[in-house]
Amino acid sequence: MLQKTNNTQVIKPFRLVKFFTFSSLAIMLAATIVISALNAHWVRNILLEKSEEYASLLVENLNHQVISRFMLPVLIKYGKIRLREKEQFVLMDKVVRSTLHSFNVEMVSIYDENNIISYSFDKDLIGQKNAGGVHYEKALKREATSRLLQQGNFLELLFWFPQETKIVTFAPLQAEKQLSPSLTGPVMGVVEIIRDVSDDYKKIFKLQGLIIGSCAIVMGVLFLVLRFLVKHGEKIIEQRAEERLKLEEKLHQAEHLSAIGEMTAGVSHEIRNPLGIIKSSAQLLKNKMAKLDAENNILDIIVEESGRLDNIITDFLNFAKPKIPDLRPCVVEEIIEKNLAYLNPHIEEKTFNISKEIAQNLPGIMADNAMLYQAFLNILLNAFQSLEDNGCLTIKTVYNSGNIIINFIDNGEGIKEDILKKIWTPFFTSKDRGTGLGLGIVKNIIEAHNGTITISNAKPNGTNVEIILPV
């Protein structure tokens, strides 16, 4: 429950950080798209204005060329303009095309005063009536107008990227001063010019796409950086929360063990004194009873069980109040050899196979010889209890990075996973006899030497006890 609460406390603030991070990036990207769209719209308006100015210049030039190169010579030669006549039409077509051939003009149409198309690049349009519409009416009033014609599918028009973009300009065709006493001259017709500006619009769209793409890449990089920082921060805080949780658990366990230790120490002292009296009295009584009833073994049982109880009390005291190690120079392999010499009768009886892989020239360590002897002895006894006759125990020692690593590996049945999780719990034992304090005492001894001990299942079977002691 505590761990769940801690994780929730960690996740909540980072959810808020993630929300603000992702939302800010989304807002920035949206703002960039809007700004780029406004810029593109602004550029399009500028392009339209420039195109209108350009078209006005074209119309003015065309107006001058038509009057000077077509109308004047035709009026002088024929006395009247009739574009239906082939010679006049050919001359008009030559004048118009020579004037606009280098200005990227797609279509030119000239309307007369009755809104009838008198001339056009497309001969099928010649003779059409009322084709000018509102723009023709404005041009008759000396007001030039331009409009965009865009073609494409729905999405292309929605994102302002049509397949074709054309500018249609209507402008009045006016007589020059030479032909009219007025300042501007009368309107003799209307000129319609259609220019294809698709390439210019595609350049604008590419610029817009480049801006949006660049901003998207920058936003993506920022997103990845922020996501990495958030993830890294989450890991750090989760690690700290786990460390704090472990420290709290250790503190609770230490407080619990401290209370148990104080109680155990007090009770053990109270039991040990009368137990010693019982044991010594039984031994005295045994000596006296030997003369009267030599076959009676009741007193032997009392002495033996008293000794066993004394050993249990000793375990309680060693676990509850571990001794402070008396650190002196010692050699690990000598302690192991001492343990094996003590256990040699048991090894020969069970025909255990002891394999030693001791590294050469191991450095000495500062340790309490007696305490390490006791720790190794408990580990060896546990290993022997898990082995069957002719079983094998491998003892390895290596030196690595300022530490001596000792492994006790047996080929027994191993430890079940549910039991492996509880082996360090005080008073827990899977055996019929025992206090469940043996491994706890071993762990206290190793940690008193600033070392570590781990127990795991070996492959393919058996148990591996690994001890790391600093040199």
Q: Which are the contacts of 78, defined by CB distance < 8 A and separation ≥ 6?
A: 85, 88
Three-class secondary structure of residue 395 per DSSP = strand
Please report the pLDDT score of residue 406 as a whole number: 92
Please report the pLDDT score of residue 467 as a whole number: 92
Identify whether residues 465 and 339 lie together within a single domain: yes
Q: Residue 447: which CATH number?
A: 3.30.565.10
Last residue of a domain, one of 208, 227, 259: 208
Residue 46: half-sphere exposure toward Cβ, Cα within 13 Å? 8
Show the domain range for 22.
2-208
Q: What order do you get walking across the sheet with 187-196 strand by strand?
A: 117-120, 105-111, 187-196, 164-174, 145-151
Identify whether residues 342 and 201 lie together within a single domain: no
Q: Residue 37: which CATH number?
A: 3.30.450.20
**Residue 263 is assigned to a structural domain of this protein:** no
* Tokens representing residue 178 in the block: 């030479």
Identify whether residues 15 and 141 lie together within a single domain: yes
Identify whether residues 195 and 340 lie together within a single domain: no
Predicted confidence (pLDDT) per residue in 271-324, tens digit: 767 777 777 777 777 777 766 666 667 777 777 777 777 777 776 666 666 678
Identify whether residues 204 and 332 lie together within a single domain: no
Predicted confidence (pLDDT) per residue in 353-389, tens digit: 988 888 888 888 999 998 899 889 988 988 888 888 7
**Residue 42 is assigned to a structural domain of this protein:** yes
- The yes-or-no verdict on residue 5 having pLDDT over 60 is no
**Residue 135 is assigned to a structural domain of this protein:** yes
**Cβ contact 361:333 at 8 Å:** no
- Bridge partner residues of 190 (DSSP): 111, 172
Last residue of a domain, one of 175, 208, 241: 208
Predicted confidence (pLDDT) per residue in 89-134, tens digit: 888 888 888 888 777 788 889 888 888 888 888 888 888 888 888 8
pTM of the full structure: 0.45
Q: Which percentage of the chain shows pLDDT scores above 70?
A: 80
**Residue 466 is assigned to a structural domain of this protein:** yes
**Residue 248 is assigned to a structural domain of this protein:** no
> Tokens 């038509």 — which residue?
66
Percentage helix, strand, coil for the chain under 3-state DSSP, each rounded to 5: 60, 20, 25
Q: Look up residue 64 and give its amino acid.
A: H
**Residue 228 is assigned to a structural domain of this protein:** no
Identify whether residues 71 and 202 lie together within a single domain: yes
**Number of structural domains the chain divides into:** 2
Identify whether residues 58 and 202 lie together within a single domain: yes
Identify whether residues 204 and 330 lie together within a single domain: no
Please report the pLDDT score of residue 432 as a whole number: 60
Distance, in Å, from the CA atom of 222 to the CA atom of 24, rounded to the nearest integer, reads: 11
Last residue of a domain, one of 208, 226, 248: 208
Strands annotated E in 7-46: none
Identify whether residues 6 and 138 lie together within a single domain: yes
**Residue 265 is assigned to a structural domain of this protein:** no
> Tokens 């058996």 — which residue?
462
**Residue 165 is assigned to a structural domain of this protein:** yes
- The yes-or-no verdict on residue 12 having pLDDT over 80 is no
